Structures are given as C-alpha cells and as structure tokens.
Amino acid sequence: MAGVEERPILFSSIKKLAQWAQSGSLWPAQFGLACCAIEMMATAASRFDLSRFGAEVMRASPRQADVMIVAGRVCQKMAPVVRELYDQMPEPKWVIAMGACASVGGVFNNYAVVQGVDRVVPVDIYVPGCPPTPEGLLEAVMELQKKIRMGGRAMAPAMPSPEEVAHP
C-alpha cells in the first residue's frame, strides 16, 4: 500500500482529494471556555454563518471533532482537561487559539491562568483580539483551510523562547 496516496486518480491524487475534503468539513469541538465562546456562537449563527466554510457542526464529543477552537482563558485546572480532549480527538486534528487569553494569557498574567494554550496543545492559528470579531474567527478558519489544502499537518508544540520572541 506504500505510496497509494500519491497515485493519481483521474487528474489528482487521493491525498489532494482528502485534503480538500478535510478542509471543507472542519467540525469544531463544542467547547467554549469564556467570553470568546459568545463570539464563536455569533460566528456559527446566521449572520456570519460558519457553515459556509463547512465548519458549523459543533460536535459535543471530541471523538467526532476535527478542530478545537480554544475560545477563552484556560485556567490551570482546565489545562489537563483541554489536553485530554485534544488527545481524544482523532487524527488529523487542528487547534485554533481564539483571543488573547487562549493565545498567551491576555490580561490574566497570574498564577491561575495558563499563559497560552500552546503550553498544553500544539496550536495552528492564533487569533488576536479580546474577544476577536466573528470576522477574525472566519479569517482563522480560512487560514486553516489554506494550511490543510497545502498539506500542512498539526504543528509541533514548538514554543519559541522569550529571547527568540524578542529578537527573531
């Protein structure tokens, strides 16, 4: 079976077909942590209509989800739960860190809040804002689709050191 995914069918290959299908049916885990979840709901509702990108089916079970939208601050007690939910999601899986809190901790620079969910799970897209607008989340979904179509897999949890961040 080696190399079967590269073998052309008609004019393409199974791999490209799978990438196209995966990018068009990103089912998010129904998992809102804080106020960003309100904007996530607004994005899924009729005005912005996440279903135009095939990402409206919020799954209550991680077993059926493809993308985890971490919407809100992750406190220290929630971090192992987030990791467990991520581990329960089937491959391939992606993570969007929505908002300042999920991305880097935001205003909550204290002992209770994880300073960025990328300390727990690998993050593909970071959305700035507090909370981000529905357009911001739509942009993130589109960016993720682009990444999947280009063959990008879930990111390794490579968090740069503070020195690297300051002087890249």
Partner 1 sequence: MFDAIGNILKGLGITLKIFTTMPNQTVGYPEKKRELPARYRGVHKLRRYSDGLERCVGCELCAAACPAYAITVVAAENDPEHRVSPGERYAERYEIDYLRCIFCGECERACPVDAIVLTPQPLPPFISRRQVIMTKDDLLEPYPGGDPPAFHLHPWEDHPDRIDRWPVPQEHLPSPR
Which residues are near partner 1 by CB under 8 A?
46-49, 52, 100, 103-107, 109, 116, 118, 124-130, 133-136, 138-140, 142-143, 147, 159-160, 164-166, 168
* In the complex, minimum distance from the CB of residue 84 to partner 1, in angstroms, rounded to a whole number: 24
* In the complex, minimum distance from the CB of residue 151 to partner 1, in angstroms, rounded to a whole number: 14
Nearer to partner 1 by Cβ, of 1 and 161: the residue is 161
* In the complex, minimum distance from the CB of residue 14 to partner 1, in angstroms, rounded to a whole number: 26
Nearer to partner 1 by Cβ, of 15 and 52: the residue is 52
| CA atoms within a 13 Å half-sphere pointing along the CA-CB vector of 31 | 30
Distance separating the N- and C-terminal Cα atoms of the chain: 42
In whole angstroms, give the CA distance from residue 88 to residue 108: 28
Nearer to partner 1 by Cβ, of 29 and 104: the residue is 104
Query: What is the per-residue DSSP string for 142-159?
Result: HHHHHHHHTT--PPP--P
Neighbours of 19 (CB within 10 A): 20
* In the complex, minimum distance from the CB of residue 54 to partner 1, in angstroms, rounded to a whole number: 14
Neighbours of 21 (CB within 10 A): 11
